[in-house]
Amino acid sequence: MLSTKFRAIATLSAVVLSATLLTSCGDSASADKTLLKSIESGNVTLGSKYDQPGLGLREGDGSMTGLDIDVATYVINHIAEKNGWSTPKIEWRESPSAQRETLIQNGEVDLIAATYSINPSRAESVNFGGPYLLTHQALLTQQSNTEIKGLADLDGKILCSVTGSTPAQKIKEALPTVQLQEYDTYSSCVEALSQGNVDALSTDATILNGYAAQTPGAFKVVKLEKEGKPFTNEYYGIGLKKNDEEGTKAINEALEEMLESGEFDKFVSANLGAGDEIDPGTPGDLSFLKS
């Protein structure tokens, strides 16, 4: 009886030890993972938005379209070609604003290009390649709305943005009387706006232009200014694992080539038309984080 009991305990201990070792190995593999290793292996997982027309959109057939998709794909292929590696297979992973740092830190994605504004807080958690573009915060309202023409007109109004994003909070700080309504995705905000449940949606002009273009005549983009200058400057970057300096350098080199060759202008034109409120960034220059 004792022998049977001891065997059972020994078996259980072995199972627990095996599971512990497997978990440890998995954690070690994640810790050793870098962007260049993933590209060289032939398989990469890239994060982006799935619901932002012109930037990151999952089409009905499962394909991905948008500026961020084109930029991320260019970067991966450029790095592979420069190192003499085969073009890797790309798997896309939806990356909502509130989950981006976590997805990178957990090793669930190799990089994220998802209207990812570089700011000091985020830069403490992940590395950033870029910026590859500069845009500014704006508002989206119904086309028929004649009341909201700027920041002051949001007094007492209901303003929508997404959880984990900073634009609406910046407006709240500047205009405490605004009422904030947060949703998980921008598409939910657009739906609420179309139904009249909120008065405006605030985020980057690039995102708002995409939604306005998707439903011509339904919405309009309203510029936000403070003392005659853009309300905010939003520098889009590519997020990757913290301290992956080799990967960051490779991304910046790819972005520089993309901007200098004119490919970026082609991507903007194809996805966002005239590309109002969009300027190219300077990859590797993060000096704005100190201002």
Q: Determine the pLDDT at residue 186.
A: 87
- Quote the pLDDT of residue 247: 98
Sheet containing 219-223: give its strands across.
179-183, 158-162, 200-204, 137-142, 219-223
Instruction: Give the chain's domains with CATH numbers.
Output: 33-133+235-290 (3.40.190.10), 137-230 (3.40.190.10)
Q: Which residues contact 169 (CB under 8 A, 6 or more apart)?
A: 161, 180
Q: Which of 18-32, 90-104, 227-241, 253-267 has the lowest mean pLDDT?
A: 18-32
Q: What is the pLDDT of residue 170?
A: 87
Predicted confidence (pLDDT) per residue in 169-186, tens digit: 889 899 999 999 999 888
Owner of token pair 């003499």:
84
Say whether pLDDT at 71 is over 90: yes
pLDDT at 202 over 50: yes
Average pLDDT of the chain, as a whole number: 89
- Whether residue 124 is predicted with pLDDT greater than 90 in this model: the reply is yes
pLDDT at 224 > cutoff 80: yes
pLDDT at 12: 45
Question: CA 200 to CA 222: how far, in whole Å?
Answer: 10
List Cβ neighbours of 231 (8 Å cut-off, separation of 6 or more).
136, 137, 138, 151, 170, 171, 174, 224, 225
**Using CA of residue 77, residue 83, residue 89, residue 91, what is the dihedral sign?**
negative
Residue 20: predicted pLDDT: 46
pLDDT at 10 over 90: no
What is the pLDDT averaged over residues 23-49? 81
Q: Is the pLDDT of residue 163 over 90?
A: no
When pLDDT is averaged across residues 145-152 and rounded to a whole number, the result is 95
Of the listed ranges 10-14, 60-64, 117-121, the least confidently predicted one is 10-14
One-letter-per-residue 3-state SS of the chain: CHHHHHHHHHHHHHHHHHHHHHHHHHHHHHHHCCHHHHHHHCEEEEEECCEECCCEEECCCCCEECHHHHHHHHHHHHHHHHCCCCCCEEEEEECCHHHHHHHHHCCCCCEECCCCECCHHHHHHCEEEEEEEEECEEEEEECCCCCCCCHHHHCCCEEEEECCCCHHHHHHHHCCCCEEEEECCHHHHHHHHHCCCCCEEEEEHHHHHHHHHHCCCCEEEEECEECCEECCCEEEEEEECCCCHHHHHHHHHHHHHHHHHCHHHHHHHHHHCCCCCCEECCCCCCHHHHC
pLDDT at 259: 98
Does the pLDDT of residue 277 top 80, yes or no? no
Q: Looking at residue 167, what is its pLDDT?
A: 83
pLDDT band at 9 (very low <50, low <70, confident <90, very high): very low
Please state the rounded mean pLDDT for residues 221-231: 91
For residue 110, CA distances in Å to 38, 43, 97, 218 come to: 7, 10, 16, 37
